[in-house]
Amino acid sequence: NPLNLIRNFSIIAHIDHGKSTLADRLIQRTGGLTDREMTHGQMLDNMEIEQERGITIKAQTVRLKWKAADGQTYTLNLMDTPGHVDFAYEVSRSLAACEGALLVVDAAQGVEAQTLANVYQSIEYDHEIVPVINKIDLPAAEPEKVRHEIEDIIGLDASDAVLASAKSGIGIDEILQAIVDKVPAPKGDASAPLKAMLVDSWYDPYLGVVVLVRVMEGVLKKGQQIKFMQAGTTHLVDRVGCMTPKIEQLNDLGPGEIGFITAQIKEISEARVGDTITDAKRPAAAALPGFKEVQPVVFCGLFPTDAAEFEKLRDSLYKLRLNDASFSFEMETSAALGFGFRCGFLGLLHLEIIQERLTREYDLDLITTAPSVVYKMHLSHSKNEEAKTIELHNPADMPDPNRIESIEEPWIEATIYTPDEYLGGILKLCQDRRGIQKELTYVGGRAQLKYELPLNEVVFDFYDRLKSISKGYASFDYAQVGHREGDLVKMSILVNEEPVDALSMIVHRGTAEARGRGMCERLKDLIPRHLFKIPIQAAIGGKVIARETISAMRKDVTAKCYGGDATRKRKLLDKQKKGKAKMREYGSVSIPQEAFIAALRMG
């Protein structure tokens, strides 16, 4: 393929602005699939959850053929990128594999937080950006207003933005022509040593580990011995191909081309996104820049509701990990919940997706413990140990408080867009969550807020709260800005005098009391009455900071004794105590499963 006939582009958009629908339309228009093969909408989103939630988790790439106005047939490689901040690194690798991007903006919604975040990333990669104003078929569409927003807020010339409706098929040819006209052709020397970027990898039950690559220089061939420069491993290429979106086998991929290879790789953890692939015998002098190992930032415990399902949970986690190297897990035991796993995620959405897949695809009933971020704990020396810094993923592993010199927690910078009328509520939410306001500006009739917030305060229900305060209109995006010292303490929850490890959490001292009170109040409603009185307490160290009591459901049996027979009265009370003892044997109080999650929601 001559380089001048190749165009590599991705589609960037805020969630729900129509990226997947447009991708389908482009595939359909260029004949990659017959109408009959487009059976279910959204060809690129092949996981069930993706379809239902309308989000794209794994980047996918399709090779399209398009005969442009000049009569030449172009190869257009469309990379679908994940639209959510949790997958920012995958987005960034996909963008690095392209020369241009279609910027899709909803004609009724206008520019949103993720539109901006994605566009800035795209600009960082020197992309040529082709603006598309989508959903012009909607009665509420205001394409001219949105055109001005793109110019005012993003600073992009939108005078020739394509007006489109991915749904009704309006503007599709214009979009394809604009890609050919505006996106630059890739560059690269076919005779140089091989240098290809590992854009993505996934596990396919038939093909094994499939690796998506973008060749920068040299040629990647079937039968070639290749080397992953970061991982240091070598592999024999046994398949080269591309997706149209059907799998098509090829002999090689040259500079500027995007396609996939298989190379008898056992686990996707060996094929890390961002690695550089080179020829084992004639390696490139240097790897491509910017490789980053992604690390989980949010952790929580997952426990089977039914202890007998532990093995099934483990098998399911292994299967999920086959396709998601960024997700981690290790065994954990909890006094309250038994055997389970401590799992690490890239963010909250990632957590929810995994949780949902386990429930839905693997039919598991799960208890999820409080999500926790990664704390850095600086410990002083003890009798047996030197002073050291540890990373804490689980509040249950909190070291001896006497040894803690200081604790650092991760912070983020959040960008929030909101219509004016919800601004007050959102400012209050950010303040309540220890936010530091950095910026408040007005763009296109909406407020743009920048806040620094401790990630700890965001992982619980910040996003839900933001959506409910703004009736769904505010949009949110964030980037991590490093660890900072904070006055943090471990808060334990005691039910019937016993700490419930699954409910313990690390909180800021200043908000501990309010948080503790809220937890106790909610647990009081969530735990059913028992035959005995149940105190619910929140405590820091040995000190109780909040308390509620669930009164006993006791039948007033002693009343029948007419106050007379003291021995009989005692006997009855003893009998009840035994009943209570038996309950305790089974783990004292039965806490309903939903209480673990519901208790964490803040008012």
- Residue 17 partner contact from ligand GDP, Mg ion, none using kind-dependent CB cut-offs of 5 to 8 Å: ligand GDP
- Residue 156 partner contact from ligand GDP, Mg ion, none using kind-dependent CB cut-offs of 5 to 8 Å: none
The verdict on whether residue 542 carries a ligand-binding annotation is no
d(CA 63, CA 250): 12
Interface with ligand GDP, residue 540, by CB under 6 A? no
Q: Are 344 and 362 in contact (CB under 8 A)?
A: no
Residue range at the interface with ligand GDP (CB under 6 A); choices 14-22, 58-66, 111-119, 519-527:
14-22
The rounded Cα 228 to chain-centroid distance in angstroms is 26
DSSP 170: B
Please identify which residue in 9, 10, 17, 446 interacts with ligand GDP, judged by CB under 6 A: 17
The one-letter amino acid code at 590 reads S
Q: Which CB sits closer to Mg ion, 39 or 441? A: 39
Please identify which residue in 138, 192, 250, 597 interacts with ligand GDP, judged by CB under 6 A: 138
Residue range at the interface with ligand GDP (CB under 6 A); choices 12-20, 432-440, 464-472, 541-549:
12-20
CA nearest neighbour of 344 among 328, 330, 356, 333? 328
Q: Which CB sits closer to Mg ion, 18 or 395? A: 18
Interface with ligand GDP, residue 470, by CB under 6 A? no
Omega into 186 within 30° of 0, i.e. cis?
no
In the complex, the residues that contact Mg ion under the rule CB under 5 A are 19-20, 56
Q: Which residues contact 321 (CB under 8 A, 6 or more apart)?
A: 327, 328, 329
Q: How far is the CB of 80 from ligand GDP (least distance, A)?
A: 8
CA nearest neighbour of 288 among 273, 270, 304, 268? 273
d(CA 427, CA 41): 39
Q: Are 105 and 134 in contact (CB under 8 A)?
A: yes
Q: Which CB sits closer to Mg ion, 91 or 427? A: 91
Q: Are 452 and 460 in contact (CB under 8 A)?
A: no
The verdict on whether residue 136 carries a ligand-binding annotation is yes
- Residue 165 partner contact from ligand GDP, Mg ion, none using kind-dependent CB cut-offs of 5 to 8 Å: ligand GDP
CA nearest neighbour of 128 among 199, 201, 179, 59? 179
Q: Which CB sits closer to ligand GDP, 44 or 545? A: 44
Using only C-alpha atoms, what is the Rg of the chain?
28
The verdict on whether residue 80 carries a ligand-binding annotation is no
- Residue 15 partner contact from Mg ion, ligand GDP, none using kind-dependent CB cut-offs of 5 to 8 Å: ligand GDP
Interface with ligand GDP, residue 165, by CB under 6 A? yes
CA nearest neighbour of 318 among 330, 307, 332? 330
d(CA 248, CA 230): 29
Please identify which residue in 166, 353, 374, 539 interacts with ligand GDP, judged by CB under 6 A: 166
The verdict on whether residue 18 carries a ligand-binding annotation is yes
Please identify which residue in 5, 16, 252, 587 interacts with ligand GDP, judged by CB under 6 A: 16
Residue range at the interface with ligand GDP (CB under 6 A); choices 13-21, 190-198, 332-340, 372-380:
13-21
| CA dihedral of 310, 364, 84, 147, whole degrees rounded to 10 | 180
For the chain, the distance separating the N- and C-terminal CA atoms, rounded to the nearest angstrom, is: 59
Q: How far is the CB of 215 from ligand GDP (least distance, A)?
A: 27
- Residue 492 partner contact from Mg ion, ligand GDP, none using kind-dependent CB cut-offs of 5 to 8 Å: none
For the chain, the residue count is 603
- Residue 16 partner contact from ligand GDP, Mg ion, none using kind-dependent CB cut-offs of 5 to 8 Å: ligand GDP
Please identify which residue in 3, 15, 38, 192 interacts with ligand GDP, judged by CB under 6 A: 15
Interface with ligand GDP, residue 13, by CB under 6 A? yes
Q: How far is the CB of 246 from Mg ion (least distance, A)?
A: 20
Alpha carbon of 358 to those of 304, 371, 392, 454, 559: distances in Å? Answer: 10, 17, 25, 29, 51
Q: How far is the CB of 243 from ligand GDP (least distance, A)?
A: 18
The verdict on whether residue 334 carries a ligand-binding annotation is no
Residue range at the interface with ligand GDP (CB under 6 A); choices 64-72, 89-97, 134-142, 526-534:
134-142
The verdict on whether residue 582 carries a ligand-binding annotation is no
Please identify which residue in 6, 10, 12, 21 interacts with ligand GDP, judged by CB under 6 A: 21
In the chain, how many H helices and how many E strands?
14, 32
CA nearest neighbour of 364 among 320, 298, 300, 299? 320
Q: Which CB sits closer to ligand GDP, 39 or 249? A: 39
d(CA 442, CA 153): 10
Q: Name beta bridge partners: 407.
A: 377, 486
- Residue 251: CB atoms within 10 A of its CB come to 10
- Residue 122 partner contact from Mg ion, ligand GDP, none using kind-dependent CB cut-offs of 5 to 8 Å: none
Q: How far is the CB of 44 from Mg ion (least distance, A)?
A: 7
Q: Are 370 and 457 in contact (CB under 8 A)?
A: no
Residues 46-105 that bind ligand GDP (CB under 6 A): 54, 56, 83
Q: Which residues contact 383 (CB under 8 A, 6 or more apart)?
A: none
Residue range at the interface with ligand GDP (CB under 6 A); choices 9-17, 418-426, 465-473, 483-491:
9-17
d(CA 136, CA 142): 8
Place of tokens 């049996």: 557
The verdict on whether residue 251 carries a ligand-binding annotation is no
Binding mask 167-186 toward ligand GDP (x if CB under 6 A, else -) reads x-------------------
Interface residues with ligand GDP (CB under 6 A)?
13, 15-21, 54, 56, 83, 134-135, 137-138, 165-167
Q: Which residues fall in the annotated binding site for GTP?
A: 16-21, 134-137
Q: Which residues are annotated as a binding site?
A: 16-21, 134-137
